Amino acid sequence: MTTLKYSKPETVFLKSHAELNEKWLQDRIADDPGILGLGELVVKDRERMQPRAGRLDLLLQDPETSRRYEVEIQLGATDEAHIIRTLEYWDIEKKRYPQYDHTAVIVAENITARFLNVISLFNGVIPLVAIQLKAVKLGENISLVFSTVLDQVQLGLVEDDEEVQAVTNRSWWEERATKQTLALTDEALELVREVAPGAELKYNKFYIGLARAGQPDNFVIFRPKKENLRLEVRVARSEEWTRRLEESGLDLLDYDVRSRRYRIRLTKKADLGTHRNLLLDILKGASA
């Protein structure tokens, strides 16, 4: 058995480094955008020209959704000009390409407490992420560590705001969908009850939710159609869940970033039986 040896890393300040400059950092992020911790993103553009406003360092995009990230890099500590530039680029891109969801991203070596207090005022109004980076040297190697110090505020989900939902009943859904897909919903509910005893269907106009002890608990919702039932499970997207669902053979739709749900299309009762263990696992993860 190999014995691991401890080596103390040395912090490297890129702001004052003779060779490792902002271009070098931009190259590293462009080579592997996943190191930012924002997901499996791809580079849409670099040094993107902005009308009368300079150049955007990096434009990243999630290939599975319609979300883009306007990324500005700052060596050393953040300053007022940095946040203004970041928000300006975000606003320009948002107006030019409104068909996408846009998030402003600030990457800096030192995000000061004062600066964090200021930009936190924008969060919730402007989707904004602040990431602090640290370069460390170990032997002859340099590594980068990225830590999210301010994440985008997750807005309340529409299905959780029960007061705005028009309550319906089973008959209304049987006309909108079919008795067969409502029966499939009943079968799915029995599976849900194995991880959430006492769960009941709550019929709303745009979906069928769940209630426990009279309170909404929509970790999973149902959308019966004429030909199938769409099961939407609220759980954080991960490579593990995506891989398991894709390999299972289930009819998996695109992950809904806004509502943070995996969407699975079921067409028959056998789907629930064949994939019972996997569905139970993801339901447990969502209900935790």
The pLDDT value given to residue 196: 93
Residues 39 and 145 in one domain: yes
Q: For the segment 6-56, what is each residue's pLDDT rounded down to a tens digit? A: 878 888 888 888 888 889 999 999 999 999 988 888 899 998 988 877 899
Give the angle 61-84-64 at the CA atoms, nearest 5°.
10
Picking from 192, 179, 159, the residue whose alpha carbon sits closest to that of residue 224 is 179
Residues 137 and 167 in one domain: no
Residues 134 and 206 in one domain: no
Task: Strands of 218-275 (E only): list them.
Answer: 220-224, 229-234, 251-252, 261-266
Average pLDDT over residues 263-287: 91
DSSP 16-78: G-SS--HHHHHHHHHH-GGGGSS-S-EEEEEEEEETTTEEEEEEEE-TTSSEEEEEEEEEEE-
Q: For the segment 181-225, what is each residue's pLDDT rounded down to a tens digit? A: 999 999 999 999 999 999 999 998 889 999 988 888 999 999 999
The pLDDT value given to residue 152: 63
User: Is the predicted pLDDT of residue 234 greater than 90, yes or no?
Assistant: yes
What are the φ and ψ backbone dihedral angles of 119, each rounded to 5 degrees?
A: -70, -25
The pLDDT value given to residue 164: 45
Residue that terminates a domain, selected from 107, 132, 150: 150
Instruction: Read off the DSSP letter of residue 257.
Output: T
Average pLDDT over residues 75-82: 85
Give the angle 283-266-197 at the CA atoms, nearest 5°.
30
Would residue 240 count as lying in a domain?
yes
Would residue 69 count as lying in a domain?
yes
Residues 146 and 180 in one domain: no
The pLDDT value given to residue 162: 47
Q: Please tell me the total count of domains within the chain.
A: 2
Instruction: Count the neighbouring beta carbons within 10 Å of the beta carbon of residue 5.
Output: 5
User: Is the predicted pLDDT of residue 83 greater than 90, yes or no?
Assistant: no
Would residue 58 count as lying in a domain?
yes
Residues 105 and 21 in one domain: yes
What is the overall mean pLDDT for the chain? 86
CATH label of the domain that carries residue 136: 3.40.1350.10
User: Is the predicted pLDDT of residue 257 greater than 80, yes or no?
Assistant: no
Task: Strands of 64-123 (E only): list them.
Answer: 67-77, 101-110
The pLDDT value given to residue 230: 94
Q: For the segment 142-164, what is each residue's pLDDT rounded down to a tens digit? A: 899 998 888 765 544 545 544 44
The pLDDT value given to residue 124: 64
Q: Model-level pTM?
A: 0.55
